[in-house]
Structure formats: structure tokens, C-alpha cells
Structure 1
Amino acid sequence: MALGRRSRRTDATTSVTDAAKDVGKAVKKPLTGKQAKRMIGVGTAVLPLLTPYALAVAGAARGAWDARRAARLGVAPDQLGAYSGPGGALHARLSRIAEALTELEGPDSRATDDARAFVTATRPRLADLAVAVRAAEQMPTPRRRTAYRSIGAELDRIEIDLLTHLGVVTT
């Protein structure tokens, strides 16, 4: 007479298989009307409590995003609205160059006659470039990108000349 051995299952194996069966059962059960009403009731009670926190998180995220965009453009966050749109970055560059020209020309600067002549010659060019940026905003996308590249290249040349007049050596 042979004794049959029972397979020995550990408690961990039993709990894993039982948990897997429970998950399978939970997935197969449809949502009942009573459960739906309970979930709606909990939602109506919890939603007013969580809304102020959600709005605060959304406001903080928007503030961080605006600060990042403003830093990338080189302007203050409160001025960000003035530099929106497809030509916003170029408008920001134009305004920063104009501010630098004003500082170069200022009474407390030690600008040479050559630097003052540069400022006088560059201001009308900046005005023309600002008009070109505004005109390019109405162009189809491929033409606008080409126009922005050429405007950006011109601004690069002006910035290099400006840095030279300020005494900064560029390579």
C-alpha cells in the first residue's frame, strides 16, 4: 500500500495564487449602479475640498513655465506678454539691443565718437528689422522661417558690433 504524497505549497505561493485569482475576479465584475452612486457621492464630497489645491498647483506650474520662457527670452516675466507669438523671440532681442544702445549712448558712458556714430546708424536699422519681423508674422510658415533666419543673422552681426564697441572681445 503506497502512501500518496500531497504537494507542499508554501504560504507565500498560496497567497500569490489567491491574489491573482482575486484580481481576475475584480476585473471581471462590472460596475453596479450602487457602486457608481457611491463613487459619485464620494466625488461630490471630495471635489470641493481638492479644488483649491489643484488650482494652486496649476498656478504654480504656470508661473514656473512663464518664468522659464521669460528667462529664455531674456526679459522679465511681467513683460512676457509683449513678446508672444511667432516673432516674440526676435522682438525681445530687438528691444534688448535697443536698451544696450541707449546705455552705450548715455551721458555716464565713456563712448567714443565711433560708438556714438554706430548707435546713430544702428537705430534706424533696428526699426527696419522690427517692421520686418511684424511683416514676417503674416507670411506662410516656410517663408516666415527664412525671413526669421535672415533677421536673426542681421541681429547677430549687430550684437557683435555692439560688443566690440563695448570693449568685449568676440571670436
Structure 2
Amino acid sequence: MTLAMMNTHKAFKALQLAGVSDQQAEAMVEIFTEMQQDNALSRADLMKAGEGITGSIKELDVRLTGAIKELDDRLSGAIRKLDDRLSGAIRELNVRLTGAIKDLDFRLSGAIKDIDELKADVKQLKADVAALKTDMRWIKRLLMVMTTTMVIAAIKYIFS
């Protein structure tokens, strides 16, 4: 912001034109000039204020940099801990799953062997049943022949 300095000559003339006496106009202009000078900031004051602000900014920058580094270190540590815990959990899960897969594989192979044995037994039973059917047909035929022979012999005996 630029401060406009009061033109004392113009102010003196304006007061004279307004009907103020020369002595009163001069006193008023002097009072206003002093007031303006007392309230005006000097270049040195502004430089000093600027240096203070710059120092505060640098201090804040240092503090923020330290806080960011501390936060980064804490986050890095937390991430490492979490990574270690997750890696351990994954390894444990992998071991457990591998064991479960091996157990299931063993059980499945046993079940497959049992099923194969059952299939072979069923095949054998089918063959045995087929053989029994054939044998039963022969026995039926033999019994028919024997019955027929006995009936013929009985008839012959009765009528002879």
C-alpha cells in the first residue's frame, strides 16, 4: 500500500480560501502533517516486519519438515510391521492349505481305489450271476428229463 504524503502548500491554500486565518491554517497543516508522519510506516519498519514474517515462515517450514519426516518414519515402521504380519499370515495359510490339499488328495486316492475295487466286485458278481443262470437252465432241463423219465417208468410199471 502506498501512502500519499500531504501537500502542505495545497492544504494551507485550501484552508485560507475557506476563510481560516493564516496562523490557524498553518497550525492545522502542521498538526495534520505530524499526525500523518506519526501514523506512517517507515521503510525500515516494513523491512523489519518482513524479516519477522520470513523468519516465522522459515521456522514453520523447519517444524513442518520435521513433523513430516517423523510422520513418514512412523508410517514406514507401521507399514513394515503390517507387511511382516501379512507375510507371516500368508506363509501360515499356505502351509495349512498345502496340508489340507495333501490330506484331501490322499483321501481321494483311497476313495478312487475303493471305487475301482467295487467296480471289479460288481463285474465279478455279474459274471457269477450269469454263470448261475446258465447252471440253473441246465438243472431245469435235467430235472425235466428226469421227471419225464420217471413218469414214463411209472406209467410203464403201472401198466405192465
TM-score range, shorter chain: under 0.3
Q: Mark the structure with the bigger radius of gyration.
A: 2
TM-score (norm 1): 0.24
TM-score by length of 2: 0.25
